[in-house]
Amino acid sequence: MSAARYIWIDDSLRPASEGMVPFLSAGMQFGFSVFEGIRCYSTDKGPAVFRMNEHVDRLLDSAHIVGFRDLPVTAEQVRMAINQTITANEFSACYIRPMIYLDGAMSMTVEAGRPRFVVAVWEWKNFLGAEAKERGIRANIASFTRLHPNIMMTKAKVSGNYVSSILAKTESQRAGFDEAIMLGPDGYVAECTGENLFTVRNKIIYTTPRAGILEGITRDSLITLARDLGYSVVEEPISRDQLYIADEVFVCGTAAEVVALREIDFRVIGDGKAGPVTRALQHEFDKLVSGKHARSAEWLAPVPALNAAAVRS
Ligand SMILES: Cc1ncc(COP(=O)(O)O)c(C=O)c1O
Q: Looking at the domain assignment, is residue 306 inside a domain?
A: no
Cα 214 to middle of ligand 1, angstroms: 6
Closest-CA residue, ligand 1 atom 7, reads 216
Cβ(194) to ligand 1 under 6 A?
Answer: yes
Q: H-type helices in the chain, by residue range?
A: 26-30, 52-65, 75-89, 130-135, 162-174, 217-228, 240-244, 276-289, 296-299
Cβ(184) to ligand 1 under 6 A?
Answer: no
- Cα separation, 242 vs 140, whole angstroms: 14
Quote the distance between the C-alpha of residue 69 and its chain's center: 24
Q: Let me know whether 210 and 250 are in one domain.
A: yes
The confidence score (pLDDT) of residue 2 equals 79
Torsion 254-259-264-269 (CA) sign: positive
Task: Please report, as a single letter, which amino acid is at residue 139.
Answer: A
- Cα separation, 306 vs 83, whole angstroms: 8
Q: Looking at the domain assignment, is residue 311 inside a domain?
A: no
CATH of the domain at 147: 3.20.10.10
Q: Let me know whether 178 and 250 are in one domain.
A: yes
Q: Let me know whether 176 and 63 are in one domain.
A: no
Residue 159, C-beta contacts closer than 8 angstroms, at least 6 positions apart: 27, 31, 32, 33, 34, 35, 99, 101
Cβ(212) to ligand 1 under 6 A?
Answer: no
CATH of the domain at 30: 3.30.470.10
Domain hosting residue 106, numbered range: 6-125
Q: Let me know whether 179 and 112 are in one domain.
A: no
**pLDDT tens-place string over residues 94-145:** 999 999 999 998 889 999 999 999 999 999 776 777 788 889 999 999 999 9
Which of the 8 DSSP states describes residue 25? B
Last residue of a domain, one of 80, 106, 125: 125
Residue segments in the chain with a per-residue pLDDT below the cut of 50: 308-309, 312-313
The confidence score (pLDDT) of residue 306 equals 60
Helix, strand, or coil (residue 228): helix
- Of 304, 303, 187, 207, nearest to 252 (Cα)? 207
Question: Which helix (H) or strand (E) is 137 found in, with range?
Answer: strand 137-141
- In the chain, the number of structural domains is 2
Cβ of 186: how many Cβ atoms within 10 Å?
Answer: 13
Q: Looking at the domain assignment, is residue 309 inside a domain?
A: no
Q: Looking at the domain assignment, is residue 304 inside a domain?
A: no
The confidence score (pLDDT) of residue 305 equals 75
Catalytic residue, candidates 157, 169, 203, 287 = 157
- Cα separation, 190 vs 72, whole angstroms: 33
Q: Let me know whether 205 and 267 are in one domain.
A: yes
> Whole-prediction pTM value?
0.95
Task: Please report, as a single letter, which amino acid is at residue 220.
Answer: D
Cα 309 to middle of ligand 1, angstroms: 35
Task: Please report, as a single letter, which amino acid is at residue 33.
Answer: S
Ligand 1, atom nearest to 36 Cα: 14
The confidence score (pLDDT) of residue 308 equals 47
User: Is 262:274 a contact under the CB 8 Å cutoff?
Assistant: yes
User: Is 278:258 a contact under the CB 8 Å cutoff?
Assistant: yes
Q: Looking at the domain assignment, is residue 35 inside a domain?
A: yes
Q: How many CA atoms lie within 13 A of 151 on its CB side?
A: 10
Q: What angle do CA 91, 127, 44 make, to 5 degrees?
A: 40
Q: Let me know whether 283 and 137 are in one domain.
A: yes
Last residue of a domain, one of 95, 125, 155: 125
Cβ of 211: how many Cβ atoms within 10 Å?
Answer: 12
Q: Let me know whether 121 and 155 are in one domain.
A: no
Q: Looking at the domain assignment, is residue 308 inside a domain?
A: no
The answer to whether 157 is a known catalytic residue is yes
Closest-CA residue, ligand 1 atom 15, reads 194
